Structure 1
Amino acid sequence: MSGSDDYEVEEPVLADDDPMRAFLPASFGKKTKESNIATQIEQSRRQAPLKPAAAPKPSSNRDSDSDDDSDSDDSDDSEEGDKYPVSHELVLKTHERTITSVSLDPSGSRLLTGSLDCTVRLHDFAAMTPTTLRAFRTVDPWEAKKSAASSDSHPIHHAEFSRLSGSVFLCIGAHPQAKIISRDGDVLTTFVKGDMYLRDMNNTKGHVGEIATGTWHPSDQNLCVTAGSDSTLRIWDINNKRSQKEVIAFKSKAAGSAGRTRMTAVAWGASAQGSTPVLVAAALDGSLVMYSGNGPFTRPAAEIREAHKANTWTGGIDISSDGRMVVTRGGDNLIKLWDTRKFNKPLITTEHASTSDRYPMTNIKYAPNSTSIITGSSSGHLHILNPGNLRPELVTPITPGVPLIVVDWHAKLNQVITGSANAEVHVLYNPEMSNRGAVDVMSKAPKKRHIDDDPSLTTDQTLGLSADSIITPGTSILGKRNGGANKAKDIKRPQVQQITPFMRSQPDEKHVSQNIPLSQMLHEDPREALLKYADIAKKDPRFTGAWKDTQPVTQYADLSDEEDAADGGDKKRVKR
């Protein structure tokens, strides 16, 4: 046994076509199957044609150049699609109903989506793989107000990350109260509701009607504005939920003596001078109003009464990065471009089919550095418009036949996010132009899917627990969230009752009512329960019948008035 020549290892001799070879290992150790990243990214390439939309050519006096221009059109068609990050896509199907809002935090690491299914879902690009495209947290902002008698919730109108830090996001639903929620899904602030019986809206501390939309201050991460159906814009400090910081009561000149109309859209951006921000809002009466972003807000800096057709919902409005231009998309099938320095008439007007009649949250957005304008359409196409003349530079189908509701273009990732009426979120990107985000997701090896990997099937999403969390029975979840600090206070604090699926369905209540006799008497008035046996006791005296006939009858002496006066006339009558 000292050398290798002392013994020989016998190997099985099998023919090349022997079926036993399929069961014999070719090597020892764990086998890994490496994925081809290039092929994986290529599979996410969109099949839709990327061709510029046909637009009328500007008139020119040079007829000889027309032949040269026609020759160069074919070569330009292939180059137009490479200018925009729309060659590949990542599809997220995490909601059940129409997508009403999409937003990315400033770093581009987390994606926020809101829907008509009354939920907000948070996605983390770093935790997703090509086979695990799901949200890590589902939030119902109004779940705390649900009770056994009422389980109503509210559709999400708008949800947006704060522009500077991204640590919180503004959540607006079909409700008079907006909410501030952390990036992990915890409700931090619920703004107060106003007094609906006060006529002067300047005296109320909050909205008295449903909020349509809102946005953040461009430079102050603690300020946000909301637009409501009570004809007001309200500026809030997220550190003070008891009352708004400023009230902008818009008096409509077209609404008659009441002077109220619904505010449908609002945008807060930098001004053309760059010193103070500018606040632009649209109303249901067709008005477009502009305020100085830092106040005072007693009267608007400019107002246009018939910017869009009255009684049509102007849901899309945005301000360019330099603060000079404002673009609006109205319910009258028009897109208009305005100049804030000469805010009296539109510079350019173009026709564009509107979806505001069914989806009032339809928006329009400027691209980073205001190089383009993007919006959706009722046919499911993404329109990329020229910011100077509003002509379509690229029209590409995203969800053909299904309306495209909301769009966004992230500056750092250079990726376009769209939300459609079929509950799909599309993240459009280009591997050569885009950074991180969907590119990182498609560059990962696919993960082998297992039922335990989906936290929605193995954990309670309302408690915000991950699939890897280990909970010791009898411990308080609240103490773990605080990191174990202030243990003395946690001991004195009553333990939080954990809601189990058994307690939610409450089968014990049904069991008691069906199997325990007279259990319904717990909810009866004791006096009424006894009086219903009064007639039976008179007819059939079961317990008092023993002395019914032998009970003596009490007889009182009848005294006349004279006898009464003779016996006790001198005595003073007792006052009763």
Structure 2
Amino acid sequence: MDAFSTEDEEALRKFMPAAFGKQDAGVNVEAQIEQARRKIVDERKQAVEKAKDSDDDSDDSDDEDEDDDEYPVTHELIVKTHDRAVTSISLDPSGTRMVTGSNDCSLKLHDFSAMTPNTIRAFKTVDPFETKPSETAESHTIHQVLFSPWSGSQFLVITATPQARIFSRDGEMISEFKKGDMYLRDKNNTKGHTAEVTCAAWHPTNMDLFVTGGIDSTVRIWNVNNRMSQRDVIVHKSRAAGSAGMTRMTAVGWSSAAEGQSSIIVAAAYDGSLVMWGGEGPYHRPAAEIREAHVRDTWTGGLDISADGRLVVTRGGDDTIKLWDTRKFKTPVSQASHPSTSAQYPTSNIRFSPNSTSVITGSETGHLHILNPATLRPEIVTPVTPGSPLITVNWHPKLNQIFTGSANGQTTVLFNPKLSHNGALSVLSKAPKKRHVDDDTSLTTDLDPMGIAGDAVEGGAKLQGGSYSSRHPTIGLTASGKSRDPRRPHMPAVTPFAGTTPDERHVRESIPLSSMRDEDPREALLKYAPKEGEAKLFTGAWDENQPKPIFKDYDSDEEAEERDAKRARR
């Protein structure tokens, strides 16, 4: 048999296709990425360049190029999915799934592996308070969304309610943690927060633990496997005059401690204090406390701990950013002036970079500030959403991309093709999705609520003039929510009190022995009544030990009559 020659191999390649299926005509990935380049990178350096000579301008441009290669801010990908301000952004450890929370009381789930350059949108919208489609549920602002740092299978949701919630990565609620009894004065005896939860953080090494802080002046540690009660309660007693020992917890962080010690918990309070506890306990008293870390009665919404647990950065409502050393937790290492947006947006945060060599935060003007942690001076100030406050920031360690959320509902992904990986780059590396005929609204029709198609045929001729609902304006709902269709019964509106009334199933599961309230107490007692011939179960002792009554004996009937006469006179 002759050997397989080179010409035969080339002929086989021409005959056999290199790949099967429909082949893409070709995508210019570099051109798509270049379209995402940002025009302005650093406004601070532009102001400096104007004051220098032309000779220095060439040197500054070289320095600017070096800065471009140092930080992932040269390109951007805009995700516009929310109607109101984006308050929190979180990504799973792999960086493929992103969840955003907003003031529109909804969660948006995004999958970068499924996005294309012309389909940049959320694949699912989740209402954390939705119970049943037929019921009217309450809606509250989303304060914080936190993916588990060790597992991308679930994320924690903190809303303006006393209950934290755990959701799966697909947006299904796994557990809702218990609310405490607000009428108990001692917060150590309640099984959950008695007021709104404002902040939370995951344990740095244990995937089953997380901590929450609320306006009931408590910090509580929870186990994800026990939703009926917290594991530990830390009651923060404020020393501010007139607060009666109660204050609001505004921010909390949980990180590994320096030099291989146990973890630490750091929390900020509305009275201006900054408190630190040992992450593994005991919690009866704080390990360190700074009473006037920030101005009293200002909301310190930004708090983050460095990866090594040595530094803590806070952004207060007193228009300052301060850096603290956990080993000398008394005075700030450095501080800088920075206008606060926590009065209008309490979830305005501040974060360390993955390697703790930078600090990032937003501003009321819509700029992203990358600060030097040693001096808190800006290294780069770049506009993201000019004119709209930048509320939340997040720097993903694996993607090396910066995610920002603004007050106009826009989520922006900043990246650098030389430094970043996957995420926004994977989206721009794909071919745009070809539009289907159903994507063009001018070629499709709506369906009537009763199920009649808009292009229905009457008498053999197609009805002209758009959809059925547009031709029949009486079909639909009035401004008050009532149906205009006389055939459809009116659904009564559910009042806020009726919507929050616990149902029978919730009472039966959460309150022990709650079924006894439906029993008749008389019937419950008669169950223990002895039958004929049986000994008495509870009152049998009285048959032997009951004292016998002894009455006075009268000698004659005259004394008895005299006694009765005296009673009558009385």
With structure 2 as the length reference, what TM-score do the two structures score? 0.71
Following superposition, the deviation at residue 513 of structure 1 comes to 6.7
Cα offset for 1:275?
2.4
- Structure 2 unaligned residues grouped into runs of 5+: 1-20, 49-54, 446-475, 491-570
**Which of 333, 338, 350 lines up with 1:352 in the alignment?**
338
Q: Is the 8 A contact 1:337 1:349 kept in 2?
A: yes
The alignment status of 1:330 with 2:306, answered yes or no, reads no
Match of 1:378 in 2: 364
Q: Counterpart of 1:79?
A: 66
Report the equivalent of 1:489.
Answer: none
Q: Which residue of 1 aligns with 2:294?
A: 308
- Does residue 117 in structure 1 map to residue 104 in structure 2? yes
Q: Does 1:187 align with 2:136?
A: no
Query: What are the superposed Cα offsets for residues 529-560 of structure 1, whole Å, 9 maximum, x if unpaired?
Result: xxxxxxxxxxxxxxxxxxxxxxxxxxxxxxxx
Report the more deviating stretch, 77-86 or 436-445: 77-86
| 1:482 corresponding residue in structure 2 | none
Matches within 5 A, 1:403-552: 403-450=389-436, 511=487
SS of residue paired to 1:42: helix
Counterpart of 2:29 in structure 1 is 37
In the alignment, which residue of structure 1 is the partner of 2:42?
A: 50
- Any idea what the Cα deviations from partners look like across 1:239-279, whole Å, max 9, x if unmatched? 00000001010000005362000000001011112221110
* Structure 2 residue 85 is the aligned partner of structure 1 residue 98: yes
Question: Contact 2:166–2:173 (CA<8 Å) still a contact in 1?
Answer: yes
Kindly state the Cα deviation for residue 36 of structure 1 after the two structures are TM-superposed.
Answer: 1.4
SS in structure 2 of the partner of residue 81 of structure 1: helix
CA distance in 2, matches of 1:131, 1:191: 39
Q: 1:269 to 1:391 in 2, by over 3 A?
A: same
Q: Pick closer, same or farther for the CA change 1:147–1:295 going to 2, 3 Å.
A: farther
Q: 1:134 aligns with which of 121, 133, 139?
A: 121
Q: For each residue in 1:179-229, what CA deviation from the matched residue of structure 2 results, as whole angstroms up to 9, or x when unmatched? A: 000001110010000000000000000011011111100001010111101
Q: What are structure 1's unaligned runs of at least 5 residues?
A: 1-28, 57-67, 459-500, 515-576
Residues 38 and 512 of structure 1, relative CA distance in 2, 3 Å threshold: closer
Change (3 A) 1:55 1:348: farther
Instruction: Quote how far apart the aligned CAs of 1:295 are.
Output: 0.6
Deviation larger for 305-314 or 444-453? 444-453
Cα distance in 2 for residues equivalent to 1:116 and 1:451: 34
How far apart, in 1, do the equivalents of 2:181 and 2:283 lie?
Answer: 22
Distance 2:191 2:240 in 1: 26
Structure 2 vs 1, CA of residues 270 and 512 (structure 1 numbering), >3 Å: closer, same or farther? Answer: closer
SS, match of residue 234 in structure 2: strand
2: CA distance between counterparts of 1:55 and 1:320? 32
Q: 1:228 touches 1:264 (CA, 8 Å); kept in 2? A: yes
Alignment of 1:215 with 2:201, yes or no, is yes
Contact 1:359 1:405 in 2 (8 A): yes
Aligned residues: 430
Could you tell me which amino acid in structure 2 is paired with residue 344 of structure 1?
A: K
CA distance in 2, matches of 1:330, 1:133: 34
Root-mean-square deviation over aligned CA pairs = 2.9
Give the letter aligned to residue 29 of structure 2: I
Tell me the distance in 1 between the aligned counterparts of 2:297 and 2:243. 17
CA distance in 2, matches of 1:355, 1:167: 32
**How far apart are residue 387 of structure 1 and its match?**
1.1
**Contact 2:69 2:418 survives alignment (8 Å):** no
**If you compute each CA radius of gyration, which structure gives the higher value, 1 or 2?**
1
- SS of the aligned residue for 2:213 comes to strand
In 2, Cα distance between equivalents of 1:319 and 1:289: 13
Shift in alpha-carbon separation, 1:257–1:376, aligned structure 2, 3 A: closer
Could you tell me the percent identity over the aligned residues? 59
- The 1:509–1:213 alpha-carbon spacing in structure 2 relative to 1, beyond 3 Å, is farther
CA distance in 1, matches of 2:326, 2:425: 38
Q: Does the residue aligned with 2:487 lie in a helix, a strand or coil?
A: helix
| Residue in structure 1 matched with residue 141 of structure 2 by the alignment | 155
- For 1:168, the aligned partner's letter is Q
Q: Is the Cα contact below 8 Å between 1:131 and 1:449 reproduced in 2?
A: no
Q: Deviation of residue 136 (structure 1)?
A: 1.4
TM-score of the superposed pair, with normalisation by structure 1: 0.71
Confirm or deny: 8 A CA contact 1:286 1:312 kept in the other structure. yes
Q: Distance in 2 between matches of 1:283 and 1:206?
A: 19
